[in-house]
Amino acid sequence: MPEFCQFNDQNMEYSFSEEFAKQADEQDPLKAYREQYLFPQHNGEPCIYFTGNSLGLQPKTAKAALEQELDDWAKHGVEGHFDAKNPWFSYHELFTHPLAELVGAKPEEVVAMNGLTTNLHLLMVSFYQPYGSRYKILCEGKAFPSDQYALESQVRFHGYQPEDALIELHPREGEHTIRLEDTLKAIEDHKDEIALIMIGGVNYYTGQLWDMETITKAGHEIGAKVGWDLAHGAGNVPLKLHDWGVDFAAWCSYKYLNSGPGSISGAFIHEKHVTNKNLIRFAGWWGQDKETRFLMEKGFNPIPTAESWQLSNAPVFAMAIHKAALDIFQKAGINNLRKKAVKLTGYLEYVIQQVSEKSGDVSFEIITPTNPEERGCQLSILCHGKGKELFDFLTQNGVIADWREPNVIRVAPVPMYNSFMDVYRFGKILEQAS
Ligand SMILES: *Cc1c(COP(=O)(O)O)cnc(C)c1O
């Protein structure tokens, strides 16, 4: 069992009452962090913001961080590359330690660059190297659309057909999440054909957290490479990418990492690969050895770290906000956040069940695993009955959640800024609606 899943107070007694929620908030060691974020308002009060899994809230420090770079640009012009308070030439290096800590990596294994889908493509260029009968990719059926398109276009790029080259995992009939045993069986069944396993570490739709360590190991045993899309994993659950032996991973920073719409992505490439200069990659000048970058000479000499996958010079404005957001993560600590998340999501589950037992026209089924080891913050509620009406009622009453066709409401109380009172208030609105 991963160590982050062991809690001494897992059997905390919940109660669907204001008194309980207030007390839980008072006892929350992370309660002060809520004050560091800007909440959209509804009737003069903060919304119940349960979409940190889609776009995290703005840290109050973001504006000043951005202004610092605008001011340095005004003051120094091009010299800002070296004379800015945080010199732009090496700006991306500010992320090395915070990101390594966040995803359980060594400093040389991580880099902040590009967008998520871009990074998935760049990493597949290096780690999807089909040959002979080993040309297939094992992935989730109904993966996030961008991942589906990326996977399909990668196999086509190598001359294969997606229907043949993609092996999709599906839940069993009548179930919503994919079983580990079925995944391991698929790996075994296709052991001579799989070149790459690429899965979303936390599924965006169901909130299922995969056993990344076991699957990575199983993939390596059959000779495949294993990569994880951590769009819903980074900043949500503690990760140990280095120890798990993961070949590569990528994530975005605008969901749980609160770094603003479309902000910079992060990538992980395992130590065992970063010094391999012969590994195929699409190259650009920002991946070139720093001593010789400005000699503008012929011949690519990659930096012996994940930085060598960088193409372009760093987009400093997006990065300034990312830096401000990660500073808060470093202070709060991902393991502390995880501890609170387990209690907070457990409370939301409890409250939904309490309401569901008494409800009339609508009944709810939580399709996210009940075991905290198999989920992060998010709960996905399958509505039987008038789901869309219910969702609209929630919205009218100041709840920001999200609706996924055909009938699922996703709610994610995030430990950084959501409170037990948010969950209690949500429960009361849900009660009125049903
Ligand atoms: C959010 C998300 C994306 C978004 O991709 P971008 O390139 O950042 O637009 C991709 N994949 C998954 C699994 C996601 O959850």
CA of 344 to the centre of ligand 1 (A): 25
Write out the two tokens for 236. Answer: 């949500």
Backbone angles phi, psi at 40, to 5 degrees: -60, 150
pLDDT at 406: 86
Tell me which H or E stretch contains 140: strand 136-140
* Residue 119 alpha carbon, nearest atom of ligand 1: 7
* Residue 254 alpha carbon, nearest atom of ligand 1: 8
Query: Does the pLDDT at position 401 exceed 90?
Result: yes
* Residue 232 alpha carbon, nearest atom of ligand 1: 15
The residue-averaged pLDDT of 91-116 equals 98
CA-to-CA distance for 361 and 69, rounded, in angstroms? 54
CA of 230 to the centre of ligand 1 (A): 9
CA-closest residue to ligand 1 atom 13: 144
CA of 252 to the centre of ligand 1 (A): 7
CA-wise closest residue to 103 among 319, 334, 307, 303? 334
The residue-averaged pLDDT of 257-262 equals 98
CA of 68 to the centre of ligand 1 (A): 29
* Residue ranges lining ligand 1, Cβ < 6 Å: 115-117, 144, 146-147, 200, 204, 229, 231-232, 252
Residue 258: half-sphere exposure toward Cβ, Cα within 13 Å: 26
CA-to-CA distance for 86 and 377, rounded, in angstroms? 34
CA of 121 to the centre of ligand 1 (A): 12
Query: Does the pLDDT at position 248 exceed 80?
Result: yes
Q: Is 423 exposed, middle or buried (0-12, 13-18, 19+ CB in 10 A)?
A: buried
CA of 200 to the centre of ligand 1 (A): 10
Give the residue, out of 113, 122, 140, 147, with the most ligand 1 atoms within 8 A of its beta carbon, to mutate for a pocket test: 147
Give the residue, out of 144, 208, 209, with the most ligand 1 atoms within 8 A of its beta carbon, to mutate for a pocket test: 144
- The matching CATH number, chosen from 3.30.1180.10, 3.90.1150.10, 3.40.50.300, 1.10.10.60, for 3-38+334-433 is 3.90.1150.10
CA-to-CA distance for 70 and 320, rounded, in angstroms? 10
pLDDT at 4: 37
Name the average pLDDT for the chain. 94
pLDDT at 11: 52
pLDDT at 48: 98
* Residue 120 alpha carbon, nearest atom of ligand 1: 7
CA of 103 to the centre of ligand 1 (A): 17
pLDDT (tens digit per residue) in 264-273: 999 999 999 9
* Residue 118 alpha carbon, nearest atom of ligand 1: 7
pLDDT at 362: 67
pLDDT at 6: 36
Give the residue, out of 55, 116, 151, 377, with the most ligand 1 atoms within 8 A of its beta carbon, to mutate for a pocket test: 116
Assess if CATH 3.40.640.10 describes domain 66-331: yes
CA-closest residue to ligand 1 atom 15: 231
pLDDT (tens digit per residue) in 332-372: 999 999 999 999 999 999 999 999 888 766 678 999 999 99
Instruction: Map out the domains of the chain as residue ranges.
Output: 3-38+334-433, 66-331
* Residue 255 alpha carbon, nearest atom of ligand 1: 1
Query: Bridge partners of 49?
Result: 400
Write out the two tokens for 55. Answer: 């776009």
| Residue given tokens 């094992």 in the structure block | 138
pLDDT (tens digit per residue) in 282-324: 999 999 998 887 777 788 999 999 999 999 999 999 999 999 9
CA of 71 to the centre of ligand 1 (A): 32
* Residue 117 alpha carbon, nearest atom of ligand 1: 7
CA of 142 to the centre of ligand 1 (A): 13
The residue-averaged pLDDT of 128-148 equals 96
pLDDT (tens digit per residue) in 418-429: 999 999 999 999
pLDDT at 292: 81
% of residues, the chain, pLDDT over 70: 97
Write out the two tokens for 98. Answer: 């915070």
Local confidence band at 5 (pLDDT 50, 70, 90 cut-offs):
very low
Give the residue, out of 149, 205, 252, 404, with the most ligand 1 atoms within 8 A of its beta carbon, to mutate for a pocket test: 252
CA-closest residue to ligand 1 atom 2: 231
pLDDT at 2: 39
CA of 250 to the centre of ligand 1 (A): 10
The DSSP code for 279 is S
Determine the 3-state secondary structure of 247 from DSSP.
coil
CA of 246 to the centre of ligand 1 (A): 19
The residue-averaged pLDDT of 145-151 equals 97
pLDDT at 361: 63
pLDDT at 114: 98
pLDDT (tens digit per residue) in 21-71: 999 999 999 999 999 999 999 999 999 999 999 999 999 999 999 999 999
CA of 116 to the centre of ligand 1 (A): 6
